[in-house]
Structure 1
Amino acid sequence: MLAPFLIMLREGIEAALITGIIATYLNQTDRREFLPAVWIGVFLAVALSLFLGAGLQMVSAEFPQKAQELFEAIVGAIAAVILVSMVFWMRKAARSIKAELHSSIDEALEHGSGAGWALIGMVFFAVAREGLESIFFLLAIFQQSQGPAAPLGALLGVLVAVGIGIAIYRFGVRINLKRFFQWTGVFILFVAAGILSGALGNLHEAGIWNSLQTPAYDLSRILPVSGVAGTILSGVFGYQESPTIGEVIVYVVFLAASLYFFLRPARTPKNTAPQQGARSDANA
């Protein structure tokens, strides 16, 4: 339950942040008549994500067993790639996202009579990106976690994100987004490692991957998946009580590499300071 909650909370806050920046900028520039276009774009993006998720779930249910395992492996791999790209994209774009959105809004509203449609399209693609990321992640999680806990966690994450978005937009509430995205980013990388490791197991069940299948260890007596702690670790980090050597290698290598690149300090060009100074002088 914790994993889908935190992922959907992060995804929801990203979408709310983008929508809030757009709505605030329209208010500040006396273009409030375009606000309905923002909400139409959000609604269409959410509807598309829900229909796509339901469609993929219905199609996968018709597959035979081996095809089902292959489908789960593909979804898991896509979800892991999307999660990693989401984490690194936000790490890189956080500083400039506001200015880029303002520029995109101005460009969209230069279309004259088609300005409203251009703005709807801009909001739609921005929010749909977050929604489609969420769909593939949730499919991967729901396939590995049985019961209502995962869907409830995802729903709760969305509701909390909506509440935070409203608080930021309407009441000016501020949160340390840099720290929030950094810590949730680390958590997401652990989740992605578990999903990718599980995808390798699905490939074996589909008859495609048969190497490195010797069990690496067996913790079924100490920390069984059926226990409370094992269930939590399995749902959050993809813990397995008796993983194969291949699954352990995928988990450790992926996690070590992704954490290294994510946590290392961002490099700043040596000539950044002089350029900033020159710009300040020019503005003055």
Structure 2
Amino acid sequence: MLAPFLIMLREGLEAALIVGIIASYLRQTGRREWLPAIWVGVFLAIALALFTGAALQLASAQFPQKAQELFEAIIALIAVAVLVGMVFWMRRAARSIRGELQASVDAALDRRAATWGLIGMVFLAVAREGLESVFFLLAIFQQSRDGAAPFGAALGLLVAIGAGWGIYAGALRLDLRRFFRWTGIFILFVAAGLFASAVKALHEAGLWNALQGPVYDLGTVLPESSPLGTVLAGLLGYREAPSLGECLAWAGFLVVMLPLFLRPAAPPPARLKPMEQK
């Protein structure tokens, strides 16, 4: 439950920040008449995400067993890719996102079809977050069959909407840089677990048969079905009896991704000062 909650909190907050920055800029520049176009873009993006999720879920139900395992592996790998892309994009864009969005709003409203330009801008921004959420949630729901994961995701989204509204209204102050840094570290651990689960699914689909020797078996000490095992499985990708391939995939992913994410951001290029006249 905790992993879907935090992922949806972050995804929802990213979308809320984008919408809030655009709405605030329109309000500050005296262009409130364009605000309804924002909500049209938001609702279209939500509809696209829901349709995509339902279509993928219905399609997977028609597959035979091995094809379902392959489908789960593909979804998990896509989820890993979008999660990694999400955390590195926010790490890179956090400093300049406000200015870029405001410039995009001005450009959209200067066109002849200004309404459609603004709707399309909001739609693309929110749809990106929505589709990322779809692939992540599909991968998580395939691993967790109980109702805790959907409940956690819904709760995270509700909290994100409330936080986004609070930031827009000026009633809530968050250290967004620190928030995105720590949630980014957490998301990389979740992505490592999904990457390891993709290796397992590829084996069950008959496409990966190497490194299948068990590393350890903690089924009698800390089973995945126990409360602590469930939490660790959702947070860190814990498996009670993982294969060598799964362990190498989990550890190798983190060895590569964590240093890349934690390294200091490159400073912006310094502007050259004009030569002083003598």
Question: Distance between the aligned counterparts of 1:116 and 1:245, measured in 2?
Answer: 55
Check if 1:142 corresponds to 2:141: yes
Deviation at 1:222, TM superposition (A): 1.7
Amino acid across the alignment from 1:121: G
Deviation at 1:235, TM superposition (A): 2.1
Deviation at 1:173, TM superposition (A): 1.9
Question: Distance between the aligned counterparts of 2:33 and 2:77, measured in 1?
Answer: 42
Aligned to 1:44: 44
Question: Distance between the aligned counterparts of 2:192 and 2:234, measured in 1?
Answer: 12
Aligned to 1:26: 26
Check if 1:224 corresponds to 2:223: yes
Deviation at 1:74, TM superposition (A): 0.2
Question: Distance between the aligned counterparts of 2:216 and 2:114, measured in 1?
Answer: 60
Deviation at 1:111, TM superposition (A): 1.2
Aligned to 1:259: 258
Deviation at 1:218, TM superposition (A): 1.0
Deviation at 1:216, TM superposition (A): 1.0
Deviation at 1:160, TM superposition (A): 0.2
Q: Deviations over 1:174-213 (max 9, x none)?
A: 1000000000000000000000100000000000000000
Aligned to 2:154: 155
Deviation at 1:172, TM superposition (A): 4.0
Aligned to 1:67: 67
Listed as ranges, the matches of 1:185-204 within 5 Å are 185-204=184-203
Question: Distance between the aligned counterparts of 1:55 and 1:257, measured in 2?
Answer: 34
Deviation at 1:241, TM superposition (A): 0.3
Paired residues, what number?
Answer: 275
Aligned to 2:267: 268
Aligned to 2:109: 109
Listed as ranges, the matches of 1:118-137 within 5 Å are 118-137=117-136
Aligned to 1:11: 11
Question: Distance between the aligned counterparts of 1:92 and 1:106, measured in 2?
Answer: 23
Aligned to 1:167: 166
Q: Which of the pair is proportionally richer in helix? A: 1
Amino acid across the alignment from 2:5: F
Aligned to 1:88: 88
Question: Distance between the aligned counterparts of 1:53 and 1:255, measured in 2?
Answer: 28
Q: Deviations over 1:124-168 (max 9, x none)?
A: 000000000000000000001110000000000000000001111
Unaligned runs of 5+ residues in structure 2 are none
TM-score (norm 1): 0.94
Amino acid across the alignment from 1:87: V
Q: Residue 216 of structure 1: SS of its match in structure 2? A: coil
Amino acid across the alignment from 1:236: L
Amino acid across the alignment from 1:166: W
Question: Distance between the aligned counterparts of 1:150 and 1:15, measured in 2?
Answer: 21
Question: RMSD of the alignment, in Å?
Answer: 1.3
Deviation at 1:223, TM superposition (A): 1.1
Question: Distance between the aligned counterparts of 1:229 and 1:28, measured in 2?
Answer: 49
Aligned to 1:239: 238
Question: Distance between the aligned counterparts of 1:237 and 1:220, measured in 2?
Answer: 17
Q: Residue 110 of structure 2: SS of its match in structure 1? A: helix
Question: Distance between the aligned counterparts of 1:231 and 1:172, measured in 2?
Answer: 36
Question: Distance between the aligned counterparts of 1:235 and 1:87, measured in 2?
Answer: 18
Question: Distance between the aligned counterparts of 1:234 and 1:12, measured in 2?
Answer: 23
Unaligned runs of 5+ residues in structure 1 are none
Amino acid across the alignment from 2:136: F
Question: Distance between the aligned counterparts of 2:5 and 2:119, measured in 1?
Answer: 28
Aligned to 2:204: 205
Aligned to 1:76: 76
Identical counterparts, % of pairs: 63
Deviation at 1:256, TM superposition (A): 1.4
Deviation at 1:171, TM superposition (A): 3.3
Q: Residue 196 of structure 1: SS of its match in structure 2? A: helix
Question: Distance between the aligned counterparts of 1:36 and 1:268, measured in 2?
Answer: 38
Q: Deviations over 1:57-95 (max 9, x none)?
A: 111011000000000000000000110010000000000
Amino acid across the alignment from 1:222: V
